[in-house]
Chains A and B, each alone.
Chain A
Amino acid sequence: QVQLKETGPDLVQLTQTLSITCTVSGFSLTTYNVHWVRQPPGKGLEWMGAMWNGGGTDYNSAFKSRLSISRDTSKSQVFLKMNSLQTDDTAKYFCARHTMGISFDYWGQGVMVTVSS
């Protein structure tokens, strides 16, 4: 069955770099797109960016040049890397599968990341 699972640190120091891995199963990264969405505690959802099935990427300009998304199709993994972390980057980070015409039909459980000074 389709599954996505995020793994990453619980705590990141201020100004440091966040790295999260989304490991997927039950589908191919060359067929489906994978997106990253985050949610600060008690707040709404923010779309961060996408890894398209063809290997291209798309980013929310709100993250300027801080954000990078890549993948390793042989390992069925998508990677999020974001630098210069600030306290307002404290959030739960989700990866989600995107089926064209259907939207984000499967989500990972998310990983809660706290940025500490």
Chain B
Amino acid sequence: DIQMTQSPASLSASLGETVTIECLASEDIYSNLAWYQQKPGKSPQLLIYYANSLNDGVPSRFSGSGSGTQYSLKINSLQSEDVSIYFCQQNYDSPYTFGAGTKLELK
């Protein structure tokens, strides 16, 4: 199985700040990487697919990058509504494993 190592586990940042969350795959996943945002009590929402493609309706302050085994999600100009848990997921091979999540809070 492909292991997804996500970091940091938690992150505290101020409004307007830029934050970066990283995901490391245990093998090359050829950009088959998605990022999801999950708010408390809600289902995950797709933010980014294929490493760097923004899903419809997602604000442009979210961006994804990476290739091979290393990927990152960047949030520019942090807003209060961005407080959530963020998960990465590889879609390259079954089982389609998720990272453990990053809890983003406001400082």
Which chain A residues have a beta carbon within 8 Å of chain B's beta carbons? 35, 44-47, 50, 58, 60-62, 94, 96, 101-105, 107-110
Contact = CB atoms under 8 A, between A and B. Distances in A.
Contacts of B89: 45, 47, 103-104
Given A94-B43, A103-B91, A44 B98 contact: yes
Interface residues of B, number: 22
Contacts, number: 57
Q: Which of A61, A101, A102 has the most CB of B within 10 A?
A: A102
A61 B87 contact: no
Contacts of B55: 102, 105
Contacts of A105: 46, 49, 55
Interface of B: 34, 36, 42-46, 49-50, 53, 55, 87, 89, 91, 94-101
Contacts of A45: 36, 44, 87, 89, 98, 101
Nearest to A63: B95
Contacts of B53: 102
Given A60-B95, A101-B49, A102-B50, A44 B100 contact: yes
Contacts of A102: 46, 49-50, 53, 55
Contact of A103 (B49, B100, B101): B49
A105 B55 CA distance: 8
Contact of A35 (B36, B96, B97): B96
